[in-house]
Amino acid sequence: MTAWRSELYCTAFTKDQIPAPQNNEIVFVGRSNVGKSTLINSLLERKIAKVSSKPGKTRSINFYNVSTGEDDFTLVDIPGYGYAARGLDERRTWWRLIEDYFNSERPISFVIHLMDFRHGPLANDNELTGWLNEMDMPRLVVFTKGDKISPGKRKGLYQQYMRAGLDSILPPFITSGTNDKEMHALREGIKNIIKEIAKMDLAAAKKQKK
């Protein structure tokens, strides 16, 4: 198995700092304190994203170049949303920055929406889902903090969330941050989605030429 190579190449706090695209982009979003930085570090097998015990610490959009050995893509780390301690002005600033990113004609392949497995989709998650639906943005749901739920209860809780109608390209993954087996499964899932999207893009391009 080829290790993924990665590097942070841009940190953007404002619209003007958002870089020109380099590759197709996979965007990671999630509530504050969902464990996004921990998951990114585990996925990329290096401590590349800053992990803080204080929710809402990340205020920038971070861009990472990633090579899987087969495909290259840009991993885009969006600041966590929904942190109650942030003031209204700060939350508005967050939304403006995110809207500036999504509305700037980025080559976004899909969004990875992280949710805390203990709570499932909360109000802010549903708000984000509705917003992504308006843009017809495909997404993969990944649950974090699966280790916080006992193995005997995981299946029932997972089925409960699925019955609620989660929209996900593949069946949602359950992760625990540093579990190698789970991270391997998630890497393979991401690679498979990239390949399928590439096939669809190729088919669409051929159809336009006819």
| Residue range of the domain that includes 55 | 5-202
Cα–Cα nearest to 66, from 113, 7, 109, 21: 7
Name the percent of the chain in helix, strand, coil, to the closest 5. 40, 20, 40
Residue 18 lies in a domain: yes
pLDDT tens digits, 105-158: 899 999 999 999 999 998 888 888 888 899 899 999 999 999 999 989 999 999
Alpha-helical segments (H) within 45-117: 88-102
Residue 208 lies in a domain: no
Residue 67 lies in a domain: yes
Residue 37 lies in a domain: yes
Residue 133 lies in a domain: yes
pLDDT tens digits, 51-99: 755 555 567 899 999 999 999 999 999 988 764 445 556 667 777 888 8
Based on the structure, what is the number of domains in the chain? 1
Answer yes or no: are the C-beta atoms of 40 and 90 closer than 8 Å: no
Cα–Cα nearest to 111, from 147, 145, 135: 135
pLDDT tens digits, 145-170: 999 999 899 999 999 999 988 889 99
Q: What is the CATH number of the domain that holds 111?
A: 3.40.50.300
**CA atoms of 182 and 81, how far apart (whole Å):** 25
Compute the C-alpha angle 92/50/175, nearest 5°.
90
Residue 55 lies in a domain: yes
Amino acid at 120: G
Alpha-helical segments (H) within the chain: 36-44, 88-102, 123-134, 151-163, 180-209
